[in-house]
Amino acid sequence: MPSFDIASKVDLQTLDNAINTVKKEIINRFDFKNSPVSIELNKKDFIVNLEVETEMKMKQVIDVLISRGVRQGIDANAFDFGKDTYPSGKIIKKEVPVRNGLKQEDAKRIVKLVKDSGLKVQAQIMDDMVRITGKKIDDLQAVIAKCRNAELGIPLQFVNMKN
């Protein structure tokens, strides 16, 4: 039976390249001259730590982070900017977690979306991905189209297509 997996993964090397590109751009920008800026990637926990002087500069660093991430092939939804900034002395800090893997509630939303579509496919949650199986490849492609059009708020990759 044909099948494929729906995953939400971010390649660590690609993320590291995007962070290094952001660092280079920020260092070379005139409006960041003589101001303390720190952009660090915690590779173990997939968290980007940002430290800047003002709220305005924080917004500029976030804009550069999103644009460089998208150019590297990282979906903008992979960055979770939900946490607020917090002051620490003269600087402002922000932790930006990078979504890596499907959470249980996201996987359940995907399974519900597939079941509500009425297509003759089965969906199973397998750890941090969802496996879709069906008799026809056309049904699987319809599921991919439905997932792409749905506003789930998470980056999705469709991998391991087997015939």
Give the domain ranges of the chain. Answer: 3-8+101-162, 12-97
Given a cut of 90, whether residue 31 has pLDDT beyond it is no
Q: Which residues pair with 28 in a beta bridge?
A: none
> How does DSSP classify residue 84?
P
Q: In the beta sheet, which residues pair with residue 93?
A: 51, 86
pLDDT for the residue numbered 4: 92
For the domain made up of 12-97, give the CATH fold. Answer: Alpha-Beta Plaits (3.30.70)
| Nearest one of 162, 158, 159 to 145, comparing CA atoms | 158
Position 133 scores a pLDDT of 93
**With 90 as the cut, is the pLDDT of residue 152 above it?**
no
Please determine, for residue 48, whether its predicted confidence score (pLDDT) is greater than 90: yes
Which is nearest to 7 in space by CA: 85, 81, 75?
Answer: 75
Q: State the average pLDDT over residues 27-46.
A: 90
Q: Are 155 and 78 a contacting pair, CB within 8 Å?
A: yes
Q: How far is CA 84 from the centre of its chain?
A: 18
Q: What is the pTM for the complete model shown?
A: 0.82
Alpha helix (H) residue ranges in 7-158:
12-28, 55-71, 104-116, 137-149
**pLDDT tens digit sequence for 62-113:** 999 999 999 999 988 899 888 888 888 889 999 999 988 888 999 999 999 9
CATH number of the 3-8+101-162 domain? 3.30.70.860
Q: Are 50 and 62 in contact (CB under 8 A)?
A: yes
